[in-house]
Structure formats: C-alpha cells, structure tokens
Structure 1
Amino acid sequence: MKALSLIAFTLAALLFFGCSSKKYFEPEQTFSASNASTSNGENITDISRDGATLKSGQYIGKTGISSINLGEGYRFINESDKYVLAANPEGILKVIDKKTKDAVRAVSLKIPVVSATIKNGVIAYVLNNNSFGIYQMADNRKVVESRSETTFAIDTRAASPIFIDNLVVMPMLDGKLIIVDVADSENAKVVYISNEKAFNNIIYLTRKSNTMIAATPKKLLTLGNGGQREYQENISEVAYDNGIIYLFTKEGEVIALDNDLEKVGESKYKFAHYSAGTAFNGRVYALDQGGSLIVMDSALSKQKIYDLGEVDEPAFIAGTKLYKDGDIIELSKLGYE
C-alpha cells in the first residue's frame, strides 16, 4: 500500500507541476470587442474544415448559420450551392437538398467520414481508415474506392477534397495528395508532402489561380507553374489573402510567405496557442486559446489585441465572422489601428 501511495503521489506531483509550468500568452494591453460582438446562444459541438455543427443540429457554413437541421447524431461535413453533406459515426453520408431541407441520399460507406466535397452530383470523400472514393448520385454508385497506408492519429482539421476541372485532389491522412481523374480513375497520381508517422494528414488544401496550396501540421507545399516548393514549420493554421500565405505556428508565430515561399513578414506572440486564424482585406486575425484576438496588418508589423474571454469550446471562422462560445464576432469591425 505504501508503494502504491508513493506512486500515486509521484504521478499527482508530476501532473501538478506539468500543468503549473504551462505558459500562457499574456498581452500587456487588450481592448474590448463589444462593438463587434453579438450573442446567438448556439454552442458548437464539432468542427470540420468547412463548417461547424451546433448543439441544436443546425450548422455553420460559408454564409453563416443555416436553418437546416442535420438530424440526430450527424455532423456537418461540407456543402455546395445545392446540397449539404452530413455524416454519422456509423459511416452514413447523408445528402440534404437545400431547397426542400430533406435528405435525398443516405450513402452507407461503413467507415466514418473524415471529409467530403460535392460538385455536380459527384461526391469525393476520405474515410478515417485512410480510404478515398468517388460516388455519383445520378446512378447511385461508387466510381472508385481505394485505401492508402494505415494511419494511427490525425489532426482534426482535415482538409476536404477539391475539384479541378475533371480532376479530384484527395487530401489523405498519411501526408499525401492523390489526384484522380473522374473519367479515368485507374491512373491516379500521388504527391508526397510529409512522411511523419502520426498527425500527418492534410489540414489545408486550396487552389489559388494556377497554384495548389496544401499543408500538413509539419510542412507547407505549393504546386504550380513554378514547380513544387516546400516550407517546413510546426503549423496550427493556414490562411491566404491577396497573394500572401499566412502560417500560424505552434510556437506562437505568424509568418507571411510570398508565392515563392520566401518570408516577407513575421510576428511572434510568446506562448500563444492559436484556436483559429484567418486573413482578408489586408488584415490578419489570430485567436489564442486564452481568448486574446490579435489583429494585424498584412505585413504583420502592426497589431491590436482584443480580449474575447477564454475559448471554452471549438471556435470557427466563416467569412468575416468568428463563432465562439455562443457569440458571433464581426471581424471586419476590428482593426489594428
């Protein structure tokens, strides 16, 4: 019993000292954001790269809070102009018509869905066993489904597939992009970004002009007319505005990179841990877990910090709005001046 008590005491002491030694971002001065904040009373229960699920069963999409209810046990995955994609833990992918608000398909994929995108009735999806597939609504069939390497742990901010003309770019959970031609799925191409053993999934994927931008938690990659470029960093979030890529790092840095991935700006906030970040209209926004919202200019040389209160549940940014703990903060009203 004495031995057990000693072990318990040692574990408790380690836990106490480990927690007490954690450092937090503590700005010297903060400002109120009350003029930009309203309350909607809705709590976020789950976030995806493209939206958030609310406790009520509704969701936050690209244009804000939708009146569509996803159904009990379903989480928001993605949306198009016509459809909403939602999934449950049993691997059912539900397709909801935005006009009627009714489900028009319930596709049994048997494995939980990590991410998916729909375009012109074609759904590209990635499952949590690192399988990817393409499903056509018109004839209710899978065009292709294939599995990549086994993964053991992933970052929850999994990127969604993107369509580029007749191609689908699949952001896999093992640090790869698989490029599939919908009309010729046998000849897929693979782009390797990172080979970390865990937490190596693609967390950001977009196309800007003729350049594709992708990131894992350890590496940023661009692929375009200038070839393939890479930049290594411990990445929490990625944003893009006016030709500049912004990296929010796990060390509290915000880094600005040009199209050649050359550093054109940098700012560091000691002990900051970012919950969300975005950039638009020449401003950069970084939300620390402690509730400090840092607003910077595009060069990251000017800043103003607002106190929003500690982040208690997942925070999500859609357009110019930040959804946090039942509040909606209109970011465009907050400047660095």
Structure 2
Amino acid sequence: MRSSIYSIFIILTIFIFTGCGSKKYFEPAQTSSAEGAITTHKGTSKYLTRDGVTFTNNKYVSKYGSGKIVLNSNEVFLSANKSYIFTTDQYGKLFITKKSTKKLVKTVKFDVPIVSAGVKNGLLVYLLQDNTFGIYKLSTDTKIVENKSEDAFAVDSRIASPMFIDNLVVVPTLDGKLLIMDMNNPENAKVIYISSSTKLNNVIYLSRVGNLLVASTPNRVMTIGTAEGEYNRQGISEVAISKNSIYLFTKAGEIIKMNSSLEQQAYKKFKFAHFSTGTAFGGKVYGLDQQGSLIVADANLKRYRIYDIGKVEDFAFVSGHKLFKDELIIALDKLSL
C-alpha cells in the first residue's frame, strides 16, 4: 500500500505522550523550577523517528545534536551515522548525504516508503513501510537480497535502525523480530523473536554495549550476548542504558532498573505518571511525564527531584544530554537532585 509516510498505516504516529484514556494525572506535591537549564528553539515537529525529529522549518535534531544540513521541504530525517545522513520523502526515495561535505552522494528509489536504513562498506541495509528488508549495493545499484516479513498494520513511530557488528547486520523489523545477516552471505538470516504481540510490536530500541545486545518492543525487552534475559512489560515507553544498568520507563509511571540479565535491581512507580521519554547518564536517571513533570532520580531510584517544565503538547526527544520538548531545550546535566 503506497500511502504517505505521514499516514496512519505507515506509522500510527504514537507520540508516547498523547492521551492515555484516563482522567487521572500525575500531580506531584512539590516541584522545582528548571529555568536555569532551559533555552528555546524554533520549529514545530512534522516527523518523529527513533533517531530524530524533523521540524516544519526543514531543520532537524538527531540523537547526536542539531542537524548538520537543512532539508528540502519534501524531506524528513531518518537517521545518521558517523559518515552519512539518511533522509527520505513520502514516495520511497532515500537520500544519502555525506556529513563531511554536506553533499548528496546517492539517491535510491524504492516502490514503498522507507522507514529505516544504514550503510557500511558500500552496502545499504533498509527496511520499508510494508516490512520488506534488504541489502542494496550502492556502487552497482543492485539488490543483493530482499525479503518481506509479516505485515504490520500499526506500529510505534520509534522504529529502530539497523546495527552493524563486524560482518553482521542486525535488522529490527516491524513485527517484533531481529534478523541477523552475514553481509557476505545474506541469504541465510538468523531470526530472533523479541515479541509476538499482534499490534504495536515493532522493535523500538536496539543498542549494543560491548558484546551485549539490548532490544525492545513496546511490550518486551531482551538481552543477547555475554548475558541473556527476557522481561515482559506492557507499555514500554523508553529504554536507557547507563554503565552496566538498563532502565525501563513505562506508560504506567514505572522506572525499572535491571542488570544485563534483566533481573530487577530497583523499582519506582509514580502514580498516574505516563512517561513520554527518558534517559540515564552521569549517575542520574531522567524521566519525563507527559503532563510536564521531569523526574531526576539517582541511579538506584532512592532519591529524586521533580521539575515542572510544562505539558508535552507537540513532542519530546532526548538528544545527548539535552531534552527537546516542544519549543524548549532542557540541559539535563544542569539539573540537580
């Protein structure tokens, strides 16, 4: 189905912060001001991915910081790596721009809109809106392999990007699987099932820490490698890793600290909170409730302070140590306990 990448079919655009169906909200008894940590930016969001936000002024922010180029009006940001910026349009064109020169180096046309991509050694790994995945050789404009996974009619907008590990590529799909392919022999892919939920089951988080792979759908998180574990939880809003700890943030107001085997180490629930996003670094954990309470906790979730930064009206996105919320930029490392 060739609908726009902005349509509900592609991405049932789940801004995690939108209405939760309950009239009860998290109302902390005491909050602090984050005024000294706040600056502003211009731009309303028009497209949100796991790796960035595209604004109506054709600028974008990625997980690495403010965008390096200004996009064309028909483009939206998908992701970036150390060398390239990946953008796309609603008709299935992928634009690859070299970071160092800010010049467009390749355009690849697909029949279906593209939702995630990555490049290594001249090979493009891609995932399309209809859950088709493949490897494309850029120098010869040929598809080395292409297959289609099961249909996924409603997905979370935070679609994880492919990950390269030596000669392997890990492709997160829209139906809750990880496909592991050898780039030199991609026909025989290994399949790892993260979750088998019938809706909102795409892989929303994929990260590597040493030899440990961490992957999550909105309903289940899994670790693979030096330690292995599985953890089922409905309504996972975000996953964050700090040092050797994994943190889950849920739509039920929970922050859960786990080890690499996904054994629970600490737990804190904020009644009626609904986390839009979260992160962890520098011995602190940061969780943003959709009503505007920004919770800063210590690594063991024993102490915390709550800052009021206003209800999330448009979007919330963590870029490095900064939180972009609507028109605000909050320097998280300036917030104390």
Q: TM-score, normalised by structure 1?
A: 0.91
1:138 deviation in Å? 2.6
- The answer for the alignment partner of 1:159 in structure 2 is 160
1:201 matched to which residue of 2?
202
The residue aligned with 1:229 is: 229
1:188 alignment partner in structure 2: 189
Does residue 325 of structure 1 match 2:314? no
More deviation, 58-67/162-171: 58-67
Bigger fraction of residues in helix = 1
2:27 aligned residue: 26
Q: Which amino acid aligns with 1:233?
A: R
Q: Which runs of 5+ in 2 are unaligned?
A: 1-18
Residue 133 of structure 2 is matched in structure 1 by 132
| Structure 1 Cα separation of the partners of residues 26 and 111 of structure 2 | 43
Q: Give 1:102 shift.
A: 2.8
Q: Which residue of 2 aligns with 1:253?
A: 254
Aligned-partner Cα distance in 2 for 1:287–1:19:
15
Q: Distance in 1 between matches of 2:335 and 2:120?
A: 35
- 1:230-283 Cα offsets, whole Å, 9 max, x none, are 111121110000110000012110000011211111111111111111111111
- State the alpha-carbon separation in 1 of the partners of residues 126 and 279 from structure 2: 25
CA distance in 2 between partners of 1:170 and 1:46 (Å): 22
Give 1:67 shift.
Answer: 4.1
Look up the SS of the partner of 1:207 in the other structure: strand
Distance 2:219 2:258 in 1: 16
Instruction: Tell me if structure 2 keeps the 8 A contact 1:176–1:202.
Output: yes
Larger radius of gyration: 1
Instruction: For structure 1, list consecutive stretches of 5 or more residues without a partner in the other structure.
Output: 1-17
Rate the CA distance shift 1:167–1:83 in 2: closer, same or farther, 3 A: same
**Matched-pair contact (CA < 8 Å) for 2:68–2:99:** no
CA change 1:106–1:334 in 2 (3 A) is same
What secondary structure is seen at the aligned counterpart in 2 of 1:335? coil
Shift of 1:19: 9.2
Taking the aligned partners of 2:55 and 2:102, their CA distance within structure 1 comes to: 17
**Which amino acid in 1 is paired with 2:232?**
Q
Distance 2:55 2:317 in 1: 11
Structure 1 residue 61, shift from structure 2 partner: 1.9
| Deviations 1:162-181 (CA, angstroms, capped at 9, x unpaired) | 00101110101111111011
Q: Does the residue aligned with 1:70 lie in a helix, a strand or coil?
A: coil
Cα deviation per residue 1:31-50 (whole Å; 9 max; x = unaligned)? 11110001122322222111
| Residue in structure 2 matched with residue 93 of structure 1 by the alignment | 94
> Is the partner of 2:311 in helix, strand or coil?
coil
The number of equivalent residue pairs is 318
1:312 matched to 2:292: no
Give the TM-score, by structure 2 length. 0.91
What is the CA deviation profile of residues 289-331 of structure 1, one whole-angstrom value per residue up to 9, with x for unaligned ones? Answer: 1111000110011110001111111111110011111221100
Q: 4+ runs of 1 displaced by more than 4 Å? A: 18-21
What is the CA–CA distance in structure 2 between the aligned matches of 1:222 and 1:63, rounded to whole Å? 24
Cα distance in 2 for residues equivalent to 1:193 and 1:63: 27
Residue 244 of structure 1 aligns with an amino acid whose one-letter code is: S
Contact map agreement 1:211 1:222 (CA 8 A) in 2: yes
1:112-163 C-alpha deviation (Å, 9 max, x unpaired): 1121122333221111111111122233322211101111211111111100
Aligned partners of 2:83 and 2:98 also within 8 Å: yes
2:208–2:214 CA contact under 8 A, matched in 1: yes
In the other structure, the counterpart of 1:179 is 180
Identify if the C-alpha distance between structure 1 residues 85 and 184 changes in structure 2 by more than 3 Å, giving closer, same or farther. same
The residue that corresponds to 1:210 in the other structure is 211
Amino acid at match of 1:161: P
CA RMSD after TM alignment:
1.6
Separation of aligned partners in 1, 2:328 and 2:121: 34
Letter in 2 for 1:157: R
Question: 1:183-237, CA deviations, whole angstroms, 9 ceiling, x for partnerless residues?
Answer: 10111110111111111111111111111110111111111134x4211112111
Give the alignment of 1:297-308 within 5 angstroms.
297-308=298-309
CA distance in 2, matches of 1:230, 1:40: 39
User: What is aligned with 1:295?
Assistant: 296
The answer (yes or no) to whether the contact 2:32–2:308 under 8 Å persists in 1 is yes
Distance 1:270 1:111 in 2: 42
- Give the AA of the match of 1:115: S
Match of 1:99, SS?
Answer: coil
Distance in 1 between residues matched to 2:112 and 2:310, nearest whole Å: 37
Aligned counterpart, 1:142: 143
